[in-house]
Structure 1
Amino acid sequence: MMKFDIFAEIRGIKYQPFLCKKLNVFDFDNIDWLLQKEASFLLKVNGGQVAVSWWVSPKRTRSYPYARVYDTLSFTGKRVTIIPVLKDEGKDGDRDFLQWDTVSLMSLLGVYVIISYYSDASRNPRFRNKITEQRFDVNHVKNEIIKLLSYQSDALHWNLSQLDNIDEINKRALDNYRVISQRLGVEMHSWDSAEKRIKQILKGKETFMNLSRRLAEKAQKIERVTIQPKEHLTGIKATLTVKNYLGGFYYFTCDEVEIHGDDLYLIEGKHSKGKELPSLEDIKDGLLRMILFSNLENVEIEGKHYNPIPILNLTTAKKIDIARLINSELVNSLIKEAKTNGFKLMINKKIVC
């Protein structure tokens, strides 16, 4: 299979979103239930406001965390996202660990990360060794938000300082899972393997970064040769390695790439089987990629430089009237966002702007 390995740089992010939902405003005392029910919101704290989103799992493919973060990007104040350092659903479920690449991506977007942990859960009634309704340690989250209010530096430095405390957060996470396991009578994943993974992370940020990068590269290579059914794409996949101004590297895959002379099409695909368009969450997930792709510089393949053309391609198995869709409020907003930020929008392989 033909493949492309693309290298690029990002020096800064400039982007204006148009599809952010209107964020509801809540008091600080409500954060307990907000971190169970409200994906993104504005929080009133000590006379000010912060835009908050939270991740159900540290793995980005679960529960559309990118869409949650996207919804906070129109807020001009501090934007924070809360991510569990790990999530263990029990032996009959999944276990995911935080990766450096997630933290660095949020840093690129100017989003402050609070690395937290789950301290309570309920037993899943359908599986013997699985838990559900996991809940953050609200006191820890509250304390970190209060610290953030008086923090004067940028998101990157805050996020690096969060990693300085990751050893303590990991220990709290495992201790709480031990308590949950005993209280609910649910067997969790191997403590030994979790502790080994955490010991690697505890060696410092560099080890944490290198471990996560190896895993990201492995996932990247797997994804490159595997076309997911929902993607509904026929083009060539590629790896994309992005270097930032600090020398950090970010590893991504492009769903589809095409070379047209000196132009390199970077196509992010979102597909729907039964609806006229993919879900709004899927679209926002794709738009987060457009934020990255539209800020790429010095793009090259095997030493040859190309002009990157980011494209969001929305496809559907259902026959649709594209001319009618173009007049809809959603597609109008998408077209406006594409034109403002310099990427192209395609619907069923037809470029609409």
Structure 2
Amino acid sequence: MNTTGRIKGITYRFFLVESLQEIRIAEFDISNTPPACIIKDDTHTFAVSKWVSPKRTRSYPFERVYNTLAYPKRVTVIPVIKDEGAVGDRDFIQWDTISLMSLLDVFVVLAYYDKAKKEGEKITSQQFDNEYILTKIREIKQYRSSALHWNLKELKVNLESIIEKVQAAYNKIEKETGVKLHSSNGIAKFKD
């Protein structure tokens, strides 16, 4: 069964929005920030939320995103892939996640983990590459088109290079922790 429709406009009001902690961009470290926060520099303010997995049903990230919607410039950081080890889960970002963020005018930073700790036969405490995320936030600061245009550009222009960064980072994590991760064939298929 196919269902089609047309979105003509989105309107909403905010209820029960949490007050978000403010962090200066110079002190920003995505791995040590709350799930949603405000980052500021001298001229810009961003509401930033972070996902711990690209899979929406594993970590329920929508509350974090919702808490940023009252702010004019919204960014969410989503790992493209999360691998917990060959005996654990491996999740990939889905198109409809980016589509929903675009509808809500939320800029998506497609990110990757570059550090992790070994726990048994899995890796845990995965941390994002903070410098990469700061670079993307600075790009968004200069970006004048909508979140939709940014998100589509990131998919068309940068997704392949981000997946290569994911592959390199997980290869490094596998060597450092000694934890066997899923085969890289799955990442290659996702990339294709």
Calculate the TM-score normalised by the size of structure 2: 0.94
> Could you list the per-position Cα deviations for residues 1-34 of structure 1 after superposition, in whole angstroms to 9, with x for gaps in the alignment?
xxx97543312210011111001111113322x4
Q: 2:47 aligns with which of 37, 45, 51?
A: 51
Give 1:194 deviation, angstroms: 2.0
Give 1:64 deviation, angstroms: 1.7
SS at match of 1:57: coil
More strand by share: 1
Q: 1:117 to 1:96 in 2, by over 3 A?
A: same
The residue that corresponds to 1:26 in the other structure is 23
Distance 1:168 1:182 in 2: 21
Q: 1:108 aligns with which of 103, 107, 112?
A: 103
Q: 1:40 aligns with which of 36, 41, 49?
A: 36
> Could you list the per-position Cα deviations for residues 82-115 of structure 1 after superposition, in whole angstroms to 9, with x for gaps in the alignment?
0111100111211011111111110000111111
The residue that corresponds to 1:88 in the other structure is 83
Give 1:35 deviation, angstroms: 3.0
The residue that corresponds to 2:144 in the other structure is 152
The residue that corresponds to 1:241 in the other structure is none
The residue that corresponds to 1:166 in the other structure is 159
Matched-pair contact (CA < 8 Å) for 1:36–1:135: no
SS at match of 2:38: strand
Runs of 4+ in 1 over 6 A off after TM superposition: none
Give the aligned residue type for 2:118. Answer: R
Give the aligned residue type for 2:161. Answer: E
> Could you list the per-position Cα deviations for residues 63-91 of structure 1 after superposition, in whole angstroms to 9, with x for gaps in the alignment?
2211110000111x210000111100111
SS at match of 2:5: strand
Residue 135 (str. 1) matches residue 135 (str. 2)? no
Give the aligned residue type for 1:30. Answer: E
> Could you list the per-position Cα deviations for residues 20-69 of structure 1 after superposition, in whole angstroms to 9, with x for gaps in the alignment?
1001111113322x434400000012432100001101111122211110
- Structure 2 portions without partners, runs of 5+: none
The residue that corresponds to 1:279 in the other structure is none
Q: 2:117 aligns with which of 108, 118, 122?
A: 122
Residue 175 (str. 1) matches residue 171 (str. 2)? no
- Report 1:195-344 matches (<5 A): 195-198=188-191, 200=192
SS at match of 1:165: helix
Residue 10 (str. 1) matches residue 16 (str. 2)? no
Q: Size of the alignment, in residue pairs?
A: 191
SS at match of 1:21: coil
> Could you list the per-position Cα deviations for residues 112-170 of structure 1 after superposition, in whole angstroms to 9, with x for gaps in the alignment?
1111111111112xx32x10010111110001101111111111001111112000000
Distance 2:133 2:171 in 1: 21
Farther off after superposition, 165-174 or 55-64: 55-64
Distance 1:6 1:177 in 2: 38
Distance 1:191 1:79 in 2: 33
Percent pairwise identity: 44
The residue that corresponds to 2:93 in the other structure is 98
Give the aligned residue type for 2:18. Answer: K
Distance 1:37 1:154 in 2: 26
Give the aligned residue type for 1:195. Answer: A
The residue that corresponds to 2:69 in the other structure is 73
Give the aligned residue type for 2:137. Answer: I
Distance 1:113 1:83 in 2: 7
Distance 1:159 1:35 in 2: 22
Superposition CA RMSD, Å? 1.5
